Structure 1
């Protein structure tokens, strides 16, 4: 009998391969080239992303610890998947139930686990057909014809990519720390004088720190007359701006992935990607020495090199918050002015604190003399003594901010400390810690109920929706009433940003502080067209003059003018401005209080200008009725006829005789015409200041 060993068909193996293929297909199908209308991305599936056609960029949810998630765009080829844009940087969503949806009405929403909308595209049309990520890293919404309705390039966070236009409405804001995408203290933007600047906006002070304000626009190789305010980084690695700021990558050329990032340590850097290792290298930086960044080590802190930048506390001080160096250092002693004999000075060589000078002395002055000056001023916390060329300079410091220690600094800072500070505390510096390495707890959102099963989570969503529906009408009434009452007192965010740009060297006061200092604005010193001035006394005993700006819209212009102009002037006849208050609708300026009128009246007496006769003439015309107006009109017409008839003999009487007739008669005629235009009775026919400035610039160029 012949036996046959027939092997059964491998149906099980075939079935296994079929299941594997189906599984792989379902897994890879989560990667989208586009997000179509009516579809969504889930936070719970890390592979649920949108990729660019060439695979360079991806868009999806990113987690940096805890259960906080951000909708982000990142480089896929970098080792750390570097994030270049986030939608909800200051409002992370939960790791359960959150999703990005392109709804059927054409609007793209980001919702949290409870269904609340955290972020959405601000478009007025509801015709969006699909969302996609371009090879440039730009997330766009397109209509059925392919036209772009919205793009992430218009709303940068901390990074600028090649071909991404940077305008006056954009701002790069650094992350608060590494691994946390929330907005930090540092920003890069076009200021109101049309220049690109780096700005520190900390909890206690604000300051522009790049370019160097001491050099001015010309020496910084910038221009401020171009109001277009636009900049771009091209594919070669070259950056160009309307203010003439230009720089290039050290590895200039095509085919390299790059980015400009406002880093969390306050420096602006251009990075180039090594395609083989996936690592980034710095190919340009705004600041070669990172300790020049303002606010790195907080109040009283000192930035030093060992050799990398680190933060340290000076003698007699200790770290305020070990998890955040921006909080600076706090004194280990109580300040008092009762006994100057119980005070000593500790020298920290090659160190200085920038700004907050209450006094300045230049010339042949000794360290001992500076010491006596600081002892005599209760508000003096330290003094800086340095050599500037052959000149010795002494600065009295009321607040210690922006400390920096470098081996090549030609001076020292002398701290005023009580004699009770132990000898072990008088070392040059206390223990230091690497900056920006502060630890922070992971961001945790929500409650344990958010981690229940899908059914229970849906039930909670229904309950939340029901509660919301019940209170919707009442909430709407309250919000409408609030808007109606307070809409006129609101200050646009752009105006607040403008204030911060200008206030780079003054103390910020709260309204409560100034109200207390002036005893509820009791003693009035005077009033003018822009506001009322009151006398006050600060907590440190200094007498001040506090000016409350009046009408809201007029006060905004007055605020800009006084802070940007008077704040930059240091003259013997002008009082100094010490600070400001910009809180809600309150706009106040704090000046030095000077007794017995202004100094010019005591030094030089009263000066009467020849301009008074011109003022009298205008007053005479305004008060004299029609007869004087007819005479003035006749004079203007006569002068116009002389110009039109090319009668040049009259020019000799108007031009300075010291020119001996050597002047351009066309320019004189044009200037007279401009002056006559300014005298038009109809205000609408008079030229604007912009037109006058442009007119003068054109003739100067000729």
Structure 2
């Protein structure tokens, strides 16, 4: 006995066109049922004559697939069928009768196939018992309440529009830890969580061998290894999916029922170039500013249509001693792994000799951060370029290969935009494509209810997962570590931590900052937003921006509080307060610290502009928003005015002018499109103030009337002196309080950068990553001795 579902011509994708037949009888019995308007199960067309038996979200704009039976072997568009056989097997056959996929069900008692509202396709017996389910065989997506265990893995698609199994996996590793791994034709390589940290430093534990994880209805993911995260729109009533995309990133999505578009509400990796295997062998991932792939000099794409195959050399490698070679330096580039040797505290020339003496060495990496670390490379995989990488790769090339001294990796070939732009709205953006503010309905409308339910899930989740397994103390410590990361605090917690908001650290336009100590003894700064018309916008701008980024030169946010009328933000405590308190007061900040602030803050802005998932424009860069830690390392703060732009979007609308007078770029007043160049302008003012030591944003008074700003006069005077070739121009430009204790080379570079940054023509302003590179090139100049006269004093 066979029960057939036949695909009919011209209506392949419409479930209503699927006819259920019992043998050849016209009496149709509904053996296959569909969940009401939420999910569909049918043949899905992806090409002219390629069909997949699939489950997809009915209301999503692009019919987003969450499961496929035959992802590696599509069937013909006419005559293909899915059959429930008498032996209980569910079988997909092509037009020629060949079996493409089957369930291998071992019982004859299978009575019906049913698609549950959860998205689970099940085979049931006469009593309703489930005998087989698609939840046990996921493809690239995990749905709420779908158990994820040690026997399961999520495997990415091969590419955009290509549903075949790709190379990126989400799995429980052999040590019980959830990981993302590239498993390609040439290598296998784990790239998440942070491969430079151990299990517990990553907030995980490998002591629980149950290996089980689940995504719940509220958008919270809970795992036995301690991985615990939630969607930004946490709450009931939202359709969600956890998907490993073809670019290797794991993302949690929420569906907007009205538009049919998906919102990214959590993702594992913020800097996509850290995904291994993304650009194939010899390829380099670069930010320009979106992540793209590029071939290094002397190499070309192996397959112009497929970056998975990487780059091939345009020369033959030989071990002949007669072949003359050279080394080409590519700044801020590294290839992770495949080190044939490692040496510490050796010179650049010694490192070069090690590669020359090794026939198999294809390049060497040398760190510029003072350690003298040398890594020779037997293979070139996992290449990436980042302005924050303190070193360079030196490619070993035949002398006959023509190369330019200035190596530019343009990354003109796009590789890793996660999903089609027509189907995605980034959750972290405050603006839709028309500039309207996203409504954060599910995040705080039911805050009190969510808090109670969250606690219920936490208690019941840990009890169910670990009660029977006996968790060691070390594992419990791992859970405490992960629970101390970004989270929602209660108002009572923060009131107690701040001793009823007793110690005030500072006050700004949006609120007051207080010092506090959390229950785990972390010292924090708690920002209490005042009642204002833009309080919600400022609050959620900070939460959605800084809550999901992590960089040493950006203030770390630990969490937030949203209860009733209370809106509070919890940051790390930064010891030395803001830059303005050291630069414009009696505290004379030394030159070493000034250069450190210039370089560090440029790195932070470069990360925001070029390496984040979104382009983040801070919009209010000024000394008050640059905090200094105990080592005078800068940390950019106050993201309340931040603008986030979707990649590929030209949207630049603002509801009002933003920023601080004196640091605002001209395009604000001229009503021009707002881009990251407004931050570059503000940074230019700050870096010139670091050199001069005064407020350049102030106005100069002549005859009792405002004539021009200090900035305009400073730039005009410096340009004139340089044009007239005055030898002592830099001494006149530098803060006289330093008494000549500064690096002339560094000061000249800072002035040069600052002047170019404040150019009225924004197209002539440099990018932040080029500023980082320029400053790093003079970082190792002769350091100024730090004395009691020129070090920051209190």
**TM value normalised by structure 2:** 0.49
8 Å CA contact retained: 2:348, 2:372: no
Deviation of 1:142 after TM superposition, in Å, equals: 1.6
Deviation of 1:104 after TM superposition, in Å, equals: 4.4
- Distance (Å, rounded) in 2 between the aligned partners of 1:33 and 1:39: 15
User: 1:349–1:331: structure 2 CA closer, same or farther, 3 Å change rule?
Assistant: same
Which of 400, 404, 407 does residue 427 from structure 1 map onto?
407
1:409 equivalent to 2:394? Answer no
8 Å CA contact retained: 2:20, 2:31: no
Output one character per residue of 1:554-595: Cα deviation in whole Å (capped at 9) or x when no partner: xxxxxxxxxxxxxxxxxxxxxxxxxxxxxxxxxxxxxxxxxx
Unaligned ranges ≥5, structure 2: 1-10, 419-794
Counterpart position of 1:115: 97
Q: Secondary structure at the match of 1:69?
A: strand
Which of 375, 382, 393 does residue 356 from structure 2 map onto?
375
Higher helix share: 1
- Distance (Å, rounded) in 1 between the aligned partners of 2:340 and 2:380: 12
Counterpart position of 1:13: none
1:205 equivalent to 2:190? Answer no
User: 1:188–1:394: structure 2 CA closer, same or farther, 3 Å change rule?
Assistant: same
1:31 equivalent to 2:16? Answer yes
User: 1:28–1:282: structure 2 CA closer, same or farther, 3 Å change rule?
Assistant: closer
- Distance (Å, rounded) in 2 between the aligned partners of 1:246 and 1:85: 24
Counterpart position of 1:145: 127
Is the deviation greater in 105-114 or in 61-70? 105-114
Counterpart position of 1:233: 215
Counterpart position of 2:758: none
- Distance (Å, rounded) in 2 between the aligned partners of 1:72 and 1:218: 39
Output one character per residue of 1:160-206: Cα deviation in whole Å (capped at 9) or x when no partner: 00111111111101111121211111111111111111111111111
User: 1:177–1:142: structure 2 CA closer, same or farther, 3 Å change rule?
Assistant: same
Counterpart position of 2:118: 136
Root-mean-square deviation (CA, aligned residues, Å) is 2.8
Q: Secondary structure at the match of 2:123?
A: strand
Counterpart position of 1:215: 197
Q: Secondary structure at the match of 1:73?
A: strand
Q: Secondary structure at the match of 2:200?
A: helix
Deviation of 1:66 after TM superposition, in Å, equals: 3.3
Deviation of 1:37 after TM superposition, in Å, equals: 6.3
8 Å CA contact retained: 1:302, 1:311: yes
User: 1:150–1:429: structure 2 CA closer, same or farther, 3 Å change rule?
Assistant: same
8 Å CA contact retained: 1:49, 1:59: no
Counterpart position of 2:311: 329
Deviation of 1:424 after TM superposition, in Å, equals: 4.9
Deviation of 1:276 after TM superposition, in Å, equals: 1.3
Counterpart position of 2:734: none
Output aligned runs, 1:610-649, within 5 Å.
none
Output one character per residue of 1:578-625: Cα deviation in whole Å (capped at 9) or x when no partner: xxxxxxxxxxxxxxxxxxxxxxxxxxxxxxxxxxxxxxxxxxxxxxxx
Output one character per residue of 1:665-700: Cα deviation in whole Å (capped at 9) or x when no partner: xxxxxxxxxxxxxxxxxxxxxxxxxxxxxxxxxxxx
Counterpart position of 1:395: 375
Output aligned runs, 1:291-330, within 5 Å.
291-330=273-312
1:65 equivalent to 2:47? Answer yes
Select the structure of larger CA radius of gyration: 1
1:167 equivalent to 2:136? Answer no
Counterpart position of 1:384: 365
8 Å CA contact retained: 1:301, 1:312: yes
Deviation of 1:114 after TM superposition, in Å, equals: 1.0
User: 1:131–1:238: structure 2 CA closer, same or farther, 3 Å change rule?
Assistant: same
- Distance (Å, rounded) in 1 between the aligned partners of 2:231 and 2:25: 39
Output aligned runs, 1:45-84, within 5 Å.
52-84=34-66
Output aligned runs, 1:172-571, within 5 Å.
172-339=154-321, 342-363=324-345, 365-388=346-369, 390-424=370-404, 427-429=407-409, 432-436=412-416
8 Å CA contact retained: 1:32, 1:50: no
Is the deviation greater in 326-335 or in 99-108? 99-108
Deviation of 1:396 after TM superposition, in Å, equals: 0.8
Q: How many residues align?
A: 405
8 Å CA contact retained: 2:31, 2:112: no
User: 1:200–1:291: structure 2 CA closer, same or farther, 3 Å change rule?
Assistant: same
**TM value normalised by structure 1:** 0.55
Unaligned ranges ≥5, structure 1: 1-25, 42-47, 439-702
